[in-house]
Each structure stands twice: as C-alpha cells, then as structure tokens.
Amino acid sequence: MTKVIDGKAFAAKVRAEVATHVAALKEKGIVPGLAVVLVGEDPASKVYVKNKHASTVEVGMNSYEHRLDAATSEADLLALIDKLNADPAVHGILVQLPLPGHLNSELVINRIDPAKDVDGFHISNVGLLGTGQKSMVPCTPLGCLMMLRDHHGSLAGLNAVVVGRSNIVGKPMAQLLLGDSCTVTIAHSRTKDLAAVCRGADILVAAVGRPEMITGDFVKPGATVIDVGINRIERDGKGKIVGDVHYESAAAVAGAITPVPGGVGPMTIACLLANTLTACCRSNGLAEPKGLTA
Ligand SMILES: Nc1nc2c(c(=O)[nH]1)N[C@@H](CN(C=O)c1ccc(C(=O)N[C@@H](CCC(=O)O)C(=O)O)cc1)CN2
C-alpha cells in the first residue's frame, strides 16, 4: 500500500515542537522575533505572508510585518533591511519573493545579515551549505529532508534524483541529500531520457515547476516521491492546485508520496519558524534545538 506522507500533520508537529522551545526561551526572558517584508500586492504572496504572521504568533514568537508599496525604491528597501539587521529583537528576516521587477532580488537578499537569513538564500549560507558547514537552510528543502528522514530513518546509500536546479529548492535539496549520504543526481528539463533517470531513484524529488510532468512511468516501484510543485491550473472550468507530479499514476507505483496541496507546502512555513528559533538560539549562544535543523 502506498503511504501518503501528510505534510499538514507533520508541519503541525514541527510547530508544536517549536512552540515548546519558545516557551522555554521565554522563561529565560528571550522572545524570538521574525520580520517579514512584503513589497507589492501579489495575491499569493499576501496569503503566504498572512499565514506566516499567524503561525509566528501561534508559536509564541514576535512577528514584525513590513508591507511596502509596489513602487518602493531599492534604496528604501535596503535601508529597512539595515534597520532590521541592527534590531536585537529581530532574529529572523525574510523578504517575500518574488519581488517587483525593478528590484534586484540578489542584492536585496544579500543585504540581510546571514545570521538572520531564515530563508537560507544569502550567498554566505549557500556557500556554507555547499561545503557542509553550519548554515541557515532553505525552508522548503529542509521540510522535505525532515519528512524523508521520518519515513526512511537513515537515507545513507539511497539513490536520490532531484528534478529541478533552482537555487531555492533543487540545488539546496541536492546538497542536503548528499549531506545525508545519498547518491544524488540533479536532473532537469534538458536531461536526456529523464524518465529513465528518474526510474533509478529510491527518492524522487520533483521541483521543476511544470504541472503534473512526472508521471507514473518515471517512478521506480516502491520509491518515495516528494512533490515540491505548486501550480495553479484550470480544469473543468475550475481553478485547482496541482504539483509537478501526476498524483494518481505516480501513487499507483510509489511506496510513499506527498500530496499537493497538503504535502511539502505546509512544511515551508513550519521550517521558517524552526529556522527563526535556531537563529535566536545561535545569537544567544544557546544550544540549537535537535531535530529542527539539517
Ligand atoms: N522568501 C520566500 N519567498 C517564497 C518562498 C520562501 O520559502 N521564501 N516560498 C514560496 C511561497 N511560500 C512561502 O513563502 C509558500 C508556498 C506554499 C505554501 C503552502 O502551504 N502551500 C499549500 C497550498 C497553498 C494554497 O492553497 O495556495 C500546500 O502546498 O498545501 C506555503 C508557503 C515562494 N516565495
């Protein structure tokens, strides 16, 4: 029987664990704080930022929301980041992506103090992760890793194929799997005979951004399939969210699979809270919470 990995339930467990650690920190007079910066009116981003605020408050952390006009200048955005970098009450800073076109995302992200970069997108954190050193780890791949460790126990020696080479998901996911001693292949839309490459995977992570591209014939019988895709499509005249995996055909072959919605997505925000807690512990010279980092 195929196991459906319930990301929503897993995320609730992670948030509860974070809340327990936050309560213990409060007894020491420390309250973790997360600042989220939203520029513009992208409807999906507005929902994600609202959910981040609600989850942050729910686990007992301080939430600082900064909503800026779509026409905000780069100089003003950088000045806000400088202010947050210098604020001792702020342990984590996140700039919601995508940014409006006139803003240089790389420049903006790299202005964040790497110790407060709870998205793990700063070039210093990318380099630390790539060289196997302590870093802030991007939330979505961290969530995938937590679910994989929970399902498999040890990942050592397993063949992992990551389909997608983005800086935000594909590349850090591959680094994390390598860190857990998987044999890792990064594949992408131009990989020759992609289906055959994927069929070699004990762990198949789909992060290509193409609705339902990974079908059952890409899946090795019994493999674990992690679907990172969130694609809004129209079907039978109705809006629907689907992943990068064609769920029905893949689930018929896989040993375990994450659904969309309700799989990887909820883990992204849970891991953001875990990263904020980690950043707060590090900045106060305290031991990091076990099981909530890579
Ligand atoms: N600075 C960042 N920007 C963005 C990130 C990020 O990690 N950091 N990731 C995405 C958006 N995102 C969080 O910001 C995010 C996406 C999806 C979900 C989620 O829970 N998805 C649900 C479905 C939601 C829906 O109905 O729309 C699911 O998969 O079950 C949470 C967070 C881009 N920007």
Residue nearest to atom 5 of ligand 1 (CA): 97
Give the position, in ligand 1's atom list, of the atom nearest the Cα of 95. 1
Is there a single domain that holds both residue 46 and residue 82?
A: yes
CA–CA separation, 37 vs 69, rounded Å?
11
What CATH number is associated with residue 66? 3.40.50.10860
Annotated binding site: 164-166, 230
The one catalytic residue in 8, 76, 83, 96 is: 96
CA angle 75, 80, 86 (to 5 degrees): 125
Asked if residue 218 belongs to a domain, the reply is yes
What CATH number is associated with residue 241? 3.40.50.720
Amino acid at 273: L
> What's the whole-number mean pLDDT along residues 68-86?
98
CA–CA separation, 237 vs 197, rounded Å?
35
Asked if residue 77 belongs to a domain, the reply is yes
Annotated binding site for NADP(+): 164-166, 230
Asked if residue 75 belongs to a domain, the reply is yes
Looking at residue 189, its pLDDT comes to 87
Helices (H), 36-156: 43-58, 74-86, 105-109, 123-130, 139-152
The one catalytic residue in 116, 117, 119, 175 is: 119
Please tell me the total number of residues recorded for the chain in this structure. 294
> What's the whole-number mean pLDDT along residues 74-97?
98
CA–CA separation, 165 vs 182, rounded Å?
17
ipTM of the shown complex: 0.97
Taking only the tens place, the pLDDT of each residue in 233-253 is 999 999 999 999 999 999 999
Q: Is the CB of 262 under 6 A from ligand 1?
A: yes
Is there a single domain that holds both residue 187 and residue 231?
A: yes
Taking only the tens place, the pLDDT of each residue in 160-205 is 999 999 999 999 999 999 999 999 999 998 999 999 999 999 999 9
Kindly calculate the radius of gyration of the chain based on its CA atoms and give it in whole angstroms: 19
CA–CA separation, 67 vs 267, rounded Å?
24
**Domain span holding position 76:** 29-115
